[in-house]
Structure 1
């Protein structure tokens, strides 16, 4: 039996499948371009070149750079949501889960896709078209993130605390890009975890049992170790 040629195999794909494949390639190329060159130097021409497709094929999927950037933000968020679940799946205690979240956020946000999203968000400050495109996307992500956070943290977490953790992690991600040869940034994340734990144990945040100064038993100590290495 004769094997089908590559062109014949491609012909069997539906329009939706071809479109999804093109979008996947453009997502990867956009992340690479944003991570390596920053938002200002990222153009649809450069992205198309990295992706190995024509600019016309890119514009068929995304009529403008702003449309493509908005897609990148939403696609990366969906990918990160699955990663958080995986990184936190072995930590069940609500307090320990919150401590583990800091390291999980660092592992996710410091990746090229996380940095790419930060580049887009910063770029929207001077790009009014992009800013408008991002408004509905950010609103959807905000609502989804709040619901996911309540579920994943196994507790209600105060908005200021969440903002603080996200802000610190994002800032450290930018710092690592600006000074990649500097001090090991993970040490700063570990310090953040210790500060969170101190807040839990003193009652500033966390459970009342730990706030009352109840010593940690062996089980609690194992949970602590799991949280700090998640």
Structure 2
């Protein structure tokens, strides 16, 4: 149903009631008294007002009822995504050391502001092991293809959709950071396309977590903390 503006609905209702009220005056017989005509007019206008009220009630039920069900389905899908993201921990291995981070926004913020996060490490190109990468992100990418997942969150996940990967001759070269998402990596190290620097990858994770938090604040009475732990009811 097309969206109807409140002012248009109000004006239309008033005009319709006025027209219905006036019709008996044009249709009355010479034998009808003024009092009878006025009585008929008020009766007709009352019946019309009742029908208008019924229409508005049905309209609001259809509009907000459908919206509510839609948001509920979206919320379920967002919380499914939260369940997959929460508690994930990753390692970024460079020749300067190993950085520990995850989907926890506090830790993402900390590592970006960490005084020991060397500037040259921030700009190093990300390498992955494809099997390790797929084990970590396949389920999340599957959720991102759901019709119910909000568009803003889908956009923030899109960085995980790799176009292709390329072999690298020397993965231990100082220009690379080797990301480990789970188990010990046994496969070869690959450069992703699109390419990411270490800092860009961390920023993408932070944006994803932030978009989830903001969406839940705007569309439901659920909230998640920066640790991406179990959602809790907001205190009233």
So what's the TM-score if we normalise by structure 2? 0.24
Larger radius of gyration: 2
Higher strand share: 2
Higher helix share: 1
